[in-house]
Structure 1
Amino acid sequence: MNIAQIESNLQNLIKSFSKETFIYDLLLAYGLPKASITRLQKGNLNLSKSEGEISWKKKLRFQEEYSADLHLTISELAQSIKHEERFVIVTDYELFLAIDSKTGEKLDIELAELPKHFDFFLPWAGMEKAQHRNENPADVKAAERMAKLFDEIKKDNPVKTEEDSHALNVFLTRLLFCFFAEDTHIFQDGQFTNAISSHTAVDGHDLRSYLESLFEVLNTASKGRKDLPAYLNAFPYVNGGLFKDSFQVPEFSRKSRQLIIDAGEMNWKDINPDIFGSMFQGVIDPEKRGSLGAHYTSVPNIMKVIEPLFLDELKEELEKAKHNPKKLNELLYRLSKIKIFDPACGSGNFLIIAYKELRRLEIAIIHHLQDLQKAAAGFNSKSEQLSFIPKAQLSLAASFQVELFSRIQLSQFFGVEIDDFAHEIAQLSLWLAEHQMNVEFYREFGKTSPTLPLKEAGKIVCGNACRLKWEKVCPKKEGDEIYILGNPPYLGKKEQLVNHKLDMQLVFNSQDGFKNLDYISIWFFLAAKYCSNTPKCKAAFVSTNSICQGEQVGNFWILIFSQNIEIIFAHTSFMWKNSAKSNAGVAVVIVGISAKNGSIKKIYSSGKIIQTQEISPYLTSGTTTIVTKRSRPLSQIPEMTNGSMANDDGNFFIDHEEYIQLPSHLKVYFRQILGARELFYSFKRYALWLKDEDIEKALEIDLIKSIVNKVAKYRAGSTREATRKLANTSHLFGEIRHKSGQALIIPGLSAEKRDYIPIDFLTNGEIVSNLAQVIFDFDPWLFSLLSSRLNIVWVRATSGYFKKDLRYSPVLSYNNFPVPYISDQRKQEITQCVFRILEERERHSEKTLAQLYDPDKMPAGLREAHRQNDLAIERCYRSRPFESDEERLEYLFKLYEKMIAEEKVKDSLFEKEKKGRKVKK
């Protein structure tokens, strides 16, 4: 049951209710099961023995009270809860009192006002209030009301063309403005809704012509109006372009007219334009109706972008200037010139929050100027705190005229949005935000600029940001202070549609490796080009963390750094969640860039701020060194290779049951094979594994001959020439990398949530498939190294992810893993750690590796064995333990850079020596 339905149910309940059934009807209004309420009414679920009292476990405690003090009664009931009742309610059917026993919130109202407080009992409907603190119930309710209206209008006005769709979008935007205006003193209170109710027919046949006339009036200044009826002329001139263009207004029915009136009776002053705009996008997409509110970007998340991008520095400037009137006025002027540009602005969330924060900063500056003036005049209440200010500064303050108006204009805000409706809503939301800040300004100073007529809205362009010239949307000239920001679409390579791939082609042209990049890379690349020759331009975007992991790092950041760009701040990976119910979130990073300037950089990670001279593309403190593929290990460790690949269309493989049923003489031709799945879940699978000397005898067996023929047919029909050639050896795996003897198996993919990569020894000649990596000819201590926290931290950064699984790349991660010199004594020590890990696994032999390494269920003994192993491995790197994964990664990259530099020196010396030998000859 949604919020609009609940409110409607409460309105119907209050219109006519029976005291005998009131409490049961109240519970039904929130969608509680009718069968349960019937049982409660019959007394089966009522745990109270007192007359006139109901107690339903975990739901409510209710009592009618006519004689005593209701407040005393509810206090006593709340203090004597026995059955975890969530709500305590007392009423005499005139007053209505309630207490939420979980949060301590109280409700003390007249019963008739209950529908206005529908959100108090939302937990009955499965919606905890905490989920709705940022996701304001008023926003949800408004969006649901508008969804109903939208559906009804579309039913009577089918949308057949893009022009029809745009006209409807503009109409809904204008409607929203009128609702907001009549509840926030832009219009007279209730003016718009009352006019429709009073001056149009109940069946709605004349509402279209009435609204067409009204919209024309709203676009006409007072001096241009002639012969208008008083009820139309009473509306103010709006301007700003909102009602400028003529678009067809839809036809209305009795029902759609009434829905407009119902929507108008809501209290629209409680609407948050920064949130509601995103919710309202769900109105026009029925598939998103079930999650209204799930798609907006919450204010705390937006602040993670704008604070390090510009707001923190502006606040620091205010702190420095707060006793200097000249610098305060300079800061006010600076605010009036800043440009904010969101090239994927949606319904304007980032622009609105940025606008509001700049306006609030402006208010703080004006307060400081007023304080200085009052101190100079000798009657400031804070004058003792300001007594240390030099007299010259106070004299200067006295000479300044503090002008009480906002210098920050909507024309400083720019955006691009591909969706027509979101683009319209973004413009409207900026106007609404301006009005809200004007009201806030008035509360502070008693003066403000009038909201009407509307000023020019921010320049929000409807178009594809990947194909527009950004400088035409947000023009820049020398000295401009510009901040580009937003949350563009991420879209990995496999999620991109044809139009996205074309955008990538157009932007990156012939750049190497661009086809493997995420779609969001376009926004970073275009922002880098925009900022590259503009010293006061900075950009920051939210992105999935894949742009800072694995192979994408090399392809992507080389393009960015080539524009004379550096990373100026970063939030390392965190879950991007909003307050909406069932919002699982996605792992993201926030990366800020600008032209190189030598400033101190900041990394925000795990609640800490790390200051550094340079931020690497892996978001660590360090240089811009990029880990690239290499064919042999950088360190003194044995070679890791991919497992053997069958290339057989599945024909070589049989499961355990099929293997058991094979005659003994056939089993010799099959070997157990393991990939990541078999390793994690202890599945047994087998594959035909023939040697050249076996082929003649084996092909006399019908089963084997059939398998080999099927593989030959599959390979011969391939579109790849290399695969077709393999048809000549269809009795063999396509790629064979197996060696006899002991092996170490490392999964090609491992679940993201695991704290360690589960690896294992193979001692019975098992074959490792291409879904895992394998090491032959190794010493046992290597198991310890690859099972360590250091290793998984390195792999996460350098290998990246496939979907939600951690990928293990030999050529990117293993071959580049920096391993210092480890003495024989240390190797013996860490080998003991290997045995402890294996012993702990053996204690739980009934469990699979997947179960053992589930971080929520990992046995304590195994976790401790790994902790000790981590400490032992880390002592090989340095004497003191690492405090965090960020510290581990930073250390590993510094060691990697050192080892790469040493390798280059060695290679250089080798080349010189080689040339010297040639000269001697």
Structure 2
Amino acid sequence: MNAIEIEEAISALAEQPFEPQEFPFQFLEAFGNKPTTIKKLKSGASNKSDIGGVLQASNIHIKIAPEGQVAETLADLKASPATTRSRAKFILATDGKEFQAEELASGELVVCDYGKFPDHFGVFLALAGISTIQPIRDNAFDIRATRRLNQLYVELLRHNEDWASEERRPEMNHFMARLIFCFFAEDTSIFNGTGLFTHTVDQMSARDASNTHEVIGSIFIAMNTPTKHDGNLDSRYRKAANLPRWADVFPYVNGGLFSGSTDVPRFTRIARSILINVGNLDWTKINPDIFGSMIQAVADDDERGALGMHYTSVPNILKVLNPLFLDDLREKLVEAGENHRKLLNLRNRIAKIRVFDPACGSGNFLVIAYKEMRAIEAEINERRDEADRRTEIPLTNYRGIEMRDFPAEIARLALIIAEYQCDVTYRGQKEALAEFLPLDAMNWITCNNALRLDWLSICPPTGMGVKHHAEDLFHSPLEQAQIDFENEGGETYICGNPPYLGSQGQSGEQKADLSSVFSNTNANWKGFDYVAGWFKKAADYLEKVEARFAFVSTNSICQGKAVSNLWPVLLQNGLEIFFANQNFKWTNLAAHNAGVIVSIIGLRRVSSQPKYLSSINPDGTEEIRKVSNINAYLTGSQDIYVEAASKPIGEKAKMAFGNMPIDGGHLSFSMSELSALNLADDTKRRLIKRLLGGAEFVRGQQRFCLWLNEETVKEARRFPELKQRLDKVRGFRMVSKRNATADLADTPYRFGWIAQTGREIVTLLPRILSERREYITVGTEPAGTLTTDQAYVLLDAPLWNMALIASRLHIVWIATVCGKLKTDLRYSNTLGWNTFPVPKLTEKNKVDLTRCAEDILLAREAHFPATIADLYDPEKMPTDLRAAHDRNDETLERIYIGRRFKNDTERLEKLFELYTKMMKTKGAA
């Protein structure tokens, strides 16, 4: 369950009659507990309570209190030894009238009337396995409002099929934006009278909803009809509009929000009820930081199933904005102190800064940037004794491009709401209201394809008046006339979280987008992630404009072959990476969601100013270091691109693919298939070999194959089943359209590609490695074992080679230079093993590493018959096996630097340093 679904279930529970015996189980069901789990609790099989309540281990202890004794019951729950013993996260007591709960780790207390407990559902999200984010806990309103708006949207479309058409969907989305504004305006005194919009619809529309659309339409007409003429109050326009008296009380809003068609979809009784329910929420609690990204899913058919799961946390957004420009502004604020002249200069600078998000979605980055800038400006005004001064930061300095119309509308609305909230905070509600209406028609959120649009039309070089500007706040036709708007001396910062789709997940249109962006380069762009298009557009923009940019990106563009294909193109015209956050998980609100692994990368023109690299330490803390350079692999090392090598550098053994059957599956057998042949043991020894691919090795599966030569094939053909299999191989190869495969038809008893004689001791590892595992799953197999091309092999290699592969150093190198297939590591012998830099090893080094490899193998053997998959599950890895790997890591790392590395960043930097030296030595030779 996601947060939206949980809120819905909790709200439904609060509306039901209170049933003391059932409430604990209903509460747990609302947070996604399965029927089997509830059944065990009800039967007492898993109920650990020692005071007659319901205790779910590691989660919550609940008890129904006698009437009027809720506080006392909560104290009993807290004092219960079972609460401590079972590591409960929460305690909860209620008598159906009062509700009290406590999060034990933080001490956060919830005390409210029983019917109000859904307002605090965010506190309990951990019960559903959701890592809570503080703004979500503090602003449960946004989730509740989003769910109800989604219900309204779906209900209206269900009964207004024409509004669901592609032609009218933008109109429907615009209607929803109008409603959101009305809900906000009626609760924040923008309209005269709290609840004016909702109360008017409730009073003036029929209970059967037959005229609800007409009532709302009249209100919209009022908000599009001026109340002034030549700056003076004048009723001529309102009279001409023939507004009913009850609609005439609504103010003139316009700004494009209520211009154009005032058509309203027809309402059902259910839709009318939902609308009034939504309006009765407290919209003063709206948080545009969160609300925009959640509400955009309402209008997106593809995203509605994941409603509420696309929230980008403010701390994550600030990881982009702070090093991009906000940290510098705050430093200048500290330097200015109480110096009025310096403060004035800083205020003037801030007023000219443009923030541009070319994939703005619902405007999260722009809203946060605006609010942070307003906070700095407010501090300046406070120090200059001008606290109630009107802001000089125009919304027109916050610009975006968004492909879909509804998120673009929400972005515009979110910025308007943010501006009003900031005015109330820093100047007071009276001043905020006096200047809020009518809305300014200027709009810099453009609805278009960012990879096809000239970004200079949105943010031209300062001092130029060539730009793309929309007709009014909520309409943005591309062919609109250009309007002069000079920003001489201003700075431009580009930021955002552009869409990332692996190269395999792109549509034909998206492939065409990348083609258009990279058409004038030699880059092999077909393997690029979609996000690479934004990096190239931004790099091109920096050629013409003094600016900086920083994007959140999938880490795929800083791994594998994409690095040498993409980054020389990005950096060729005098750009450099000036800050980066290395790999971290960008989580959302889905329960048990591990999150996508991303990086944050900032680029600017080459400068002598400092560069900063952020990484996550093993204990989860963030470390920010000042470095002299940041390369495309996001390490503090020289610029270098690792290229595939045909043979290993250093003393390492040669690694190759395993054997390739090319047989249609007819040369191999499962254990049961082999048994069914009833071959004598000596026959099996001559004709059959054990066969392993990567999956068989990891899962402990038994598989076998025919392994024949010109002599033994004659014997094999005496067995009808084996002869039939050889004939099938021949047939499979003969019909192949690939000439090389068809040529193999005459020798159906031989594998298509043979890497072994079958007599070697084999060291093998899978070609695809699970991202979850902390080490590469490498092992050894006795002579006579064959491998498929789904594994890499070293033949008769000294065992110290296995110690290298099994190390933390090696998996970090592979993850960086080889990249991933979806979320798993994609191993490469030429790019990963052959290039892996190892210092010159002494004989003692080799003996020590051999012993480490033996210890790993012995630790595995001690847990027979556990499979590699079992042993390397990070949550179940045996202590002795982990200790053996730890000794291996310490032994190897001491060879590199005389001690253990502090973290993966230090490991990579040493590896790149050593790789650079080895390449120079190789080149000199």
Q: Same fold (TM over 0.5)?
A: yes
Letter in 1 for 2:784: G
Aligned to 1:182: 186
Return closer, same or farther for 1:730/1:599 CA change in 2, 3 Å cut-off.
farther
SS of match in other structure, 1:489: coil
Aligned to 2:864: 845
Return closer, same or farther for 1:261/1:818 CA change in 2, 3 Å cut-off.
same
Residue 224 of structure 2, aligned match among 213, 216, 219: 219
Q: What CA distance in whole angstroms lies between the structure 2 residues aligned with 1:698 and 1:9?
A: 70
- 1:280 pairs with 2:295: yes
Return closer, same or farther for 1:692/1:505 CA change in 2, 3 Å cut-off.
farther
* Deviation readout 1:184-213 (Å, 9 max, x if unpaired): 111121111112122233333333233223
Q: Answer yes or no: is the 8 Å Cα contact 1:680–1:848 preserved in 2.
A: yes
Q: What CA distance in whole angstroms lies between the structure 2 residues aligned with 1:97 and 1:696?
A: 83
SS of match in other structure, 1:874: helix
Residue 752 of structure 1, aligned match among 759, 771, 774: 771
- 1:425 pairs with 2:406: no
Letter in 2 for 1:172: M
- 1:524 pairs with 2:524: no
- 1:171 pairs with 2:172: no
- 1:706 pairs with 2:714: no
Q: What CA distance in whole angstroms lies between the structure 1 residues aligned with 2:270 and 2:264?
A: 16
1:160-309 paired onto structure 2 within 5 Å: 161-188=165-192, 189-223=194-228, 225-227=237-239, 228-285=243-300, 288-289=303-304, 291-309=306-324
Return closer, same or farther for 1:770/1:35 CA change in 2, 3 Å cut-off.
closer
Structure 1 residue 162: Cα displacement: 2.4
- 1:328 pairs with 2:343: yes
Q: Answer yes or no: is the 8 Å Cα contact 2:424–2:432 preserved in 1.
A: no
Return closer, same or farther for 1:636/1:108 CA change in 2, 3 Å cut-off.
closer
SS of match in other structure, 2:608: coil
Letter in 2 for 1:655: S
Residue 613 of structure 1, aligned match among 618, 622, 628: 628
Aligned to 1:152: 155
Letter in 2 for 1:213: S
Residue 544 of structure 1, aligned match among 538, 546, 554: 554
Return closer, same or farther for 1:143/1:690 CA change in 2, 3 Å cut-off.
same
Unaligned 5+ segments in structure 2 are: 56-60, 84-89, 229-235, 464-488, 617-621
Q: Answer yes or no: is the 8 Å Cα contact 2:659–2:789 preserved in 1.
A: yes
Letter in 1 for 2:868: L
Letter in 1 for 2:100: A
Residue 565 of structure 1, aligned match among 563, 567, 575: 575
SS of match in other structure, 2:653: coil
Structure 1 residue 124: Cα displacement: 11
* Deviation readout 1:67-110 (Å, 9 max, x if unpaired): xxx7986686567657659223468x6xx46343746455566x
Structure 1 residue 219: Cα displacement: 2.0
Return closer, same or farther for 1:56/1:610 CA change in 2, 3 Å cut-off.
closer
Q: What CA distance in whole angstroms lies between the structure 1 residues aligned with 2:130 and 2:565?
A: 45
Q: What CA distance in whole angstroms lies between the structure 1 residues aligned with 2:182 and 2:527?
A: 47
Return closer, same or farther for 1:87/1:124 CA change in 2, 3 Å cut-off.
farther
- 1:590 pairs with 2:608: no
SS of match in other structure, 1:813: helix
Q: What CA distance in whole angstroms lies between the structure 2 residues aligned with 1:106 and 1:516?
A: 52
Return closer, same or farther for 1:229/1:747 CA change in 2, 3 Å cut-off.
closer
Aligned to 2:91: 86
Provide the alpha-carbon RMSD of the alignment. 3.4
Q: What CA distance in whole angstroms lies between the structure 2 residues aligned with 1:155 and 1:420?
A: 21
1:785-800 paired onto structure 2 within 5 Å: 785-800=804-819
Q: What CA distance in whole angstroms lies between the structure 2 residues aligned with 1:226 and 1:522?
A: 50
Size of the aligned set, in residue pairs, is 856
Query: TM-score normalized by structure 1?
Result: 0.86
Structure 1 residue 252: Cα displacement: 2.2
* Deviation readout 1:109-155 (Å, 9 max, x if unpaired): 6x5x8347643697599568973743232111111111221122112
Q: Answer yes or no: is the 8 Å Cα contact 2:388–2:426 preserved in 1.
A: no
Q: What CA distance in whole angstroms lies between the structure 2 residues aligned with 1:604 and 1:499?
A: 35
Q: What CA distance in whole angstroms lies between the structure 1 residues aligned with 2:369 and 2:26?
A: 40
Residue 102 of structure 2, aligned match among 92, 100, 103: 100
1:669-748 paired onto structure 2 within 5 Å: 669-696=687-714, 698-739=716-757, 740-748=759-767
Return closer, same or farther for 1:608/1:698 CA change in 2, 3 Å cut-off.
same
Q: Answer yes or no: is the 8 Å Cα contact 2:10–2:121 preserved in 1.
A: no
Letter in 2 for 1:131: T
Larger deviation: 211-220 or 329-338?
211-220
Return closer, same or farther for 1:832/1:208 CA change in 2, 3 Å cut-off.
closer
SS of match in other structure, 1:812: helix
1:257-656 paired onto structure 2 within 5 Å: 257-285=272-300, 288-289=303-304, 291-370=306-385, 404-443=389-428, 450-456=435-441, 458-477=443-462, 479-509=489-519, 511-535=522-546, 537-606=547-616, 607-656=622-671
* Deviation readout 1:37-64 (Å, 9 max, x if unpaired): 9999999999999xxx985553224122
Q: What CA distance in whole angstroms lies between the structure 1 residues aligned with 2:860 and 2:909?
A: 31
Structure of greater Rg: 1
Return closer, same or farther for 1:882/1:253 CA change in 2, 3 Å cut-off.
closer
Percent of counterpart pairs with the same letter?
37
Q: What CA distance in whole angstroms lies between the structure 1 residues aligned with 2:81 and 2:664?
A: 65
Letter in 2 for 1:759: V
Return closer, same or farther for 1:830/1:105 CA change in 2, 3 Å cut-off.
closer
Structure 1 residue 651: Cα displacement: 1.5
* Deviation readout 1:439-494 (Å, 9 max, x if unpaired): 11125998787222222455111122122222223333365411111112211122
Aligned to 1:393: none
Q: Answer yes or no: is the 8 Å Cα contact 1:411–1:456 preserved in 2.
A: no
* Deviation readout 1:12-55 (Å, 9 max, x if unpaired): 75xxxxxxx67569769858699999999999999999xxx985
Letter in 2 for 1:216: I
Structure 1 residue 656: Cα displacement: 2.0
Q: What CA distance in whole angstroms lies between the structure 2 residues aligned with 1:845 and 1:7?
A: 51
Larger deviation: 880-889 or 128-137?
128-137
Return closer, same or farther for 1:26/1:675 CA change in 2, 3 Å cut-off.
closer
Q: What CA distance in whole angstroms lies between the structure 2 residues aligned with 1:829 and 1:810?
A: 24
1:31-110 paired onto structure 2 within 5 Å: 58-65=61-68, 84=83, 86-89=91-94, 96=98, 98-100=100-102, 102=104, 104-106=107-109
Residue 830 of structure 1, aligned match among 835, 849, 865: 849
Aligned to 1:805: 824
Q: What CA distance in whole angstroms lies between the structure 2 residues aligned with 1:266 and 1:229?
A: 27
Q: What CA distance in whole angstroms lies between the structure 1 residues aligned with 2:874 and 2:23?
A: 44
Q: Answer yes or no: is the 8 Å Cα contact 1:653–1:688 preserved in 2.
A: yes
SS of match in other structure, 2:167: helix
SS of match in other structure, 2:733: helix
Q: What CA distance in whole angstroms lies between the structure 1 residues aligned with 2:923 and 2:49?
A: 83
Return closer, same or farther for 1:42/1:231 CA change in 2, 3 Å cut-off.
farther
Structure 1 residue 859: Cα displacement: 2.2
Q: Answer yes or no: is the 8 Å Cα contact 2:190–2:433 preserved in 1.
A: no
SS of match in other structure, 2:247: helix
Q: What CA distance in whole angstroms lies between the structure 2 residues aligned with 1:850 and 1:813?
A: 23
Return closer, same or farther for 1:46/1:831 CA change in 2, 3 Å cut-off.
closer
Q: Answer yes or no: is the 8 Å Cα contact 1:32–1:125 preserved in 2.
A: no
Unaligned 5+ segments in structure 1 are: 14-20, 371-400, 907-921
Structure 1 residue 616: Cα displacement: 1.1
Structure 1 residue 226: Cα displacement: 3.0
Q: What CA distance in whole angstroms lies between the structure 1 residues aligned with 2:708 and 2:495?
A: 59
SS of match in other structure, 2:132: helix
